[in-house]
Amino acid sequence: MYDVVTLGECMAVLYPTEPVPMDRVSTLTLDIAGAESNTAIGLSQLGHHVRFVSQVGNDSLGQRIRTTLAQEGVDTTYLLTDSDAQTGVFFREWLPDGARRVQYYRRASAASRLSPEHLKSEMFAGAHIVHMTGITPALSETCAASVARAIELAHEAGALVSFDPNYRAPLWSVEAARVALLPLMAQADILLLGHEDAHAILGTHNEEEVLAPMPGFRAQVVVLKQAEKGACARAGEARVTVPATPVSEVIDPVGAGDGFNAGFLSGWLRGYALADALRLGARVGARIVSQTGDYVHSRDKA
């Protein structure tokens, strides 16, 4: 029995721990990152049983991902190995003005070769929630088909489907993303949208328009994440807004949305009131931005 199953790409990431351009940096930190794996780790640290479904290459970076996830308490039984492809990797540059610049090396990665044939019903059996994002469908046609199949298997298993569009402009155009993601979003039970995602995919970030029931969509829970402006949500007829959790200093904003998702889903699984689930999401997201890296390492939780 797993509280949550997540599916997507996890990659190796290298980044400096100080604001130095990549052409001047002498030391890089090696870690793992990926929207769905970040959320899986966050949920595990919040006490949930979590499984991560994906593929990595038969290489040292794939092993690093497998080992790190296991150390963070995430089940990797269905983290498959593709011996004919490499594990994806990316570099995140920390510029002197505080901005981040990312360079991906993921084309034809092992995760991008995930296909519906790899997915089995037992991967999702017993799960309460299956969480995915719109990043995975952008990687390849087979990945897009895999997400669609995972939604089918999740519903067959009696699980709720949680979906975060997580639009990434470098991966595809707004038009292509809308064509691919809107049908997937329509099948989700829980929609977790960032304000930038809402603008790109729905054409608006107006709270009333985003949270309003949409024809053909099954979601009973819709969340709009608005960064420093807080978050709002609708669950059935209930509608609430909560402020952002104060942060003394934003060190690294990457991964905040994934952390928010982990906190919110944790609260939802525990039966929290909608506002309390949002507050937990805000607290976890705030913790992420207060340190470097895409997630809080277990060794740093104290």
Kindly list the catalytic residues.
258
The residue written with tokens 């790899």 in the block is: 118
CA–CA gap between residue 1 and residue 158 (Å, rounded): 12
CA–CA gap between residue 21 and residue 136 (Å, rounded): 29
For the record, the structure tokens of 202 come out as: 């729905």
For the record, the structure tokens of 105 come out as: 């090396």
The CA-atom distances, in angstroms, between 122 and each of 125, 157, 161 are 5, 9, 16
- DSSP letter (8 states) at residue 115: -
CA–CA gap between residue 14 and residue 116 (Å, rounded): 30
CB–CB of 186/218 below 8 Å? yes
The CA-atom distances, in angstroms, between 23 and each of 20, 30, 42, 221, 223 are 8, 17, 32, 45, 40
CA–CA gap between residue 8 and residue 139 (Å, rounded): 10
CA–CA gap between residue 8 and residue 55 (Å, rounded): 9
CA–CA gap between residue 174 and residue 178 (Å, rounded): 6
Provide CB contacts within 8 A for 115, sequence distance 6+: 142, 143, 145, 146
